[in-house]
Amino acid sequence: MADIAAVPEDRKTGEKAGSIHEQGSVELVKGDTDDVDEAFAVFQGHQEVVVDAATDKRLLRKIDRYILPVMCLIYGMNYLDKTTLSYSSVMGITEDLHLEGTNYSWLGSIFYFGYLGFEWPTVRLLQALPIAKYSAMCVIIWGVILTLFSVTHNFAGAAVLRVFLGIFEAAVTPGWTLITSQWYKKSEQGARTCIWFSFNGAAAIAGGFIAYGLADAGDRGHFTIAAWKVLYILTGLLTVALGIFFLIIVPDSPLKAWWLSDEDRILAVARVRENQQGIGNKHFKMYQFLEALKDPFAWAIVVLSLAGNIPNGGISNFFSLLIVSFGYTAKQSLLLSSPSGAVEVVSLLLTGWLGDRCKNRLLISLGGVGLGTIGSILLVALSDGARAGKLVGFYLTLAAPSGFVIMLSLISSNIAGYTKKTTVAAMYLISYCVGNIVGPQTFRPEDAPHYYPAIVTMFVCYVICILDILFIWYWFRRMNAKKAAIRADPSYVKPENSEWLDLTDGENPEFLYTL
């Protein structure tokens, strides 16, 4: 085999892992094909496969048709299932479970303790086990957990269920990120990530109407149990059904897609070879783990995830109470929460489309974070009588997640090496959990009903996100310039089969970072 890019010493132990970040160059050694990507063996007989434009479009349409809808629907349920607590806060759960003091805030936070504690184990399981089957199992189990809320009677029981809900929902975001990197080119990943994440907003729209309808039916005496319990049963059963559907439809890799012919399976993998990432590797590699811990991008997005999700954690659990504080009734708050979802959907779809079209996801994402910043200013600056203006300010904060979502897409696009990718995803989502744990605690009972200290905290967090995004944009431009210098060196030899060797982005000079 021709020379391939690799680290100079033991790749499995992690000693002196080679990295462009650290060294500015990469040594080349011969014949290291241990623990290569799952597609490596297949492409030893198909090195010359070329996917023409017509075939590429046909395959993309088919992948979108089978993979994207179910990912979107489950991600929407992932959001709705978490925020069912907020809807139920004005449907009687506080009284029925005898919640006192900070009990409700802790129910908001405790979900993320389960998420936080299981995030690292779940990304390891996503790597070691068949990714689609493991993800489907988690979806089905969290749906069952949701239905069990209908039989709980106190804070302790609800807290236990929220912990387990966090444990099993911990798989969905890293799982969807990895699946996106398996199936889509880098140039497609930003838009696709924004599409499936935008179903958070779609769920917010649907959730408001569903909760209002159930609350109204409960007031009319149509249920023999509390309306909030019906809400949990309904969302739980829908989640179980979608988990089963996902298990049937989504394969563990393009090479196992039952809805593709043998030839199309190979072509589906060939079309993403330009990503220089492969489609998966089940071996844990210590050197990649260590490279992730040394990568400035990894720590930059940890900061962004923390700062971006402190506001998210607060808003997700207190939006109904916040709307009531503007001067609306509890039932009106259920309906008025729905437009916030539309803001999120539109901002994410525009960010994803423009980011890929303009080939600059990072700078485009600043628009959404900027709108969220303006929204937080309106919430603090407007007087109590300006309830419509405050409502607009609340809606604008729902554009801010565009920065978080773009970082998810960049984990998919800009981190190579399967162990490194799963490690960075875990770091990002652990920080996400911490932010969402802190967020509800900024909404203190003594600050009700306006929660001004929490809103000021949101503003500060959004400013940190803007500065962080600008740093990441600068960092990737710098790294791409370093790689261009390596490839321009007369002694440089392009590595053969580099896309199937499970190399990290730091090892592989052919890997280019998406801005």
> For 153-171, how does the pLDDT look when each residue is reduced to its tens digit (9 = 90+)?
899 999 999 999 999 999 9
Pick left, alpha or beta for residue 101 (phi over 0 → left; psi -120 to 50 → alpha; otherwise beta). left
pLDDT in tens, 255-275: 889 999 988 888 888 888 777
112-126 as b/e: b if 16+ CB within 10 A: bbbbbbbbbebbebb
Q: Which amino acid is at 221?
A: G
Q: What is the DSSP string of 415-481?
A: --SHHHHHHHHHHHHHHHHHHHHHHHHHS-GGGTTT-HHHHHHHHHHHHHHHHHHHHHHHHHHHHHH
Helix 338-357, helix 402-414: angle, nearest 10: 40
Question: What pLDDT score does 359 carry?
Answer: 87
| Measured distance CA(332)–CA(477) in Å, rounded | 48
DSSP state of 163: H
What average pLDDT is seen over the chain? 84
| Measured distance CA(28)–CA(498) in Å, rounded | 11
Instruction: Work out the angle at residue 161's Cα, subtended by the Cα atoms of residues 157 and 167, and round it to the nearest 5 degrees.
Output: 150
pLDDT in tens, 119-138: 899 988 998 899 999 999 99
Other Cβ atoms closer than 10 A to 338: 18
C-alpha distances (whole Å) from 249 to each of 194, 231, 288, 425 are: 21, 27, 32, 25
Supply φ then ψ for residue 147, to 5 degrees. Answer: -65, -30
Residue 468: band (very low, low, confident or very high) from pLDDT cuts 50, 70, 90: very high
Helix 227-249, helix 131-148: angle, nearest 10: 170
Instruction: Work out the angle at residue 364's Cα, subtended by the Cα atoms of residues 440 and 354, and round it to the nearest 5 degrees.
Output: 115
- Find the helix or strand (DSSP H, E) in which 252 lies: none
Q: Which amino acid is at 192?
A: R
Q: Which of 44-58, 127-141, 499-513 has the highest mean pLDDT?
A: 127-141
Mean pLDDT across 428-437: 88
Q: Poorest-confidence range of 193-202, 251-260, 431-440, 488-497? A: 488-497
Q: What is the DSSP string of 458-476?
A: HHHHHHHHHHHHHHHHHHH
Q: Poorest-confidence range of 74-78, 198-202, 370-374? A: 198-202
| Measured distance CA(83)–CA(204) in Å, rounded | 8
| Measured distance CA(192)–CA(69) in Å, rounded | 11
Q: What is the DSSP string of 307-331?
A: HHHHHHHHHHHHHHHHHHHTT--HH
Q: Which of 32-36, 111-115, 193-197, 380-384 has the highest mean pLDDT?
A: 193-197
Residue 108: band (very low, low, confident or very high) from pLDDT cuts 50, 70, 90: confident
Question: What pLDDT score does 20 carry?
Answer: 47
Mean pLDDT across 211-216: 85
Supply φ then ψ for residue 487, to 5 degrees. Answer: -70, -25
Four-residue CA torsion sign, 51, 61, 403, 356: positive
- Find the helix or strand (DSSP H, E) in which 94 lies: helix 93-96
Question: What pLDDT score does 44 carry?
Answer: 62
Mean pLDDT across 433-447: 84
**Contact at 8 Å (CB) between 323 and 333?**
yes
Question: What pLDDT score does 37 carry?
Answer: 59
pLDDT at 64 over 90: yes
pLDDT at 31 over 70: no
The domains found in the chain, sorted by start residue, are 67-262+271-481 (1.20.1250.20)
128: helix, coil or strand?
helix
157: helix, coil or strand?
helix
Residue 11: band (very low, low, confident or very high) from pLDDT cuts 50, 70, 90: very low
pLDDT at 7 over 50: no
Residue 208: band (very low, low, confident or very high) from pLDDT cuts 50, 70, 90: confident
| Measured distance CA(309)–CA(369) in Å, rounded | 12
Q: What is the DSSP string of 337-392?
A: THHHHHHHHHHHHHHHHHHHHTT-HHHHHHHHHHHHHHHHHHHHHS-TT-HHHHHH
Question: What pLDDT score does 300 carry?
Answer: 95
pLDDT at 51 over 50: yes
- The more confident residue out of 62 and 15 is 62
Question: What pLDDT score does 384 carry?
Answer: 79
| Measured distance CA(409)–CA(420) in Å, rounded | 15
pLDDT at 360 over 70: yes
Mean pLDDT across 30-54: 62
Helix 296-325, helix 103-128: angle, nearest 10: 150
**Contact at 8 Å (CB) between 84 and 146?**
yes
- The more confident residue out of 1 and 23 is 23
**Among the listed residues 64, 349, 69, the one whose alpha carbon sits nearest the alpha carbon of residue 191:** 349
Up-side HSE of residue 402: CA atoms within 13 Å toward CB?
33
| Measured distance CA(408)–CA(295) in Å, rounded | 16
pLDDT at 192 over 80: yes
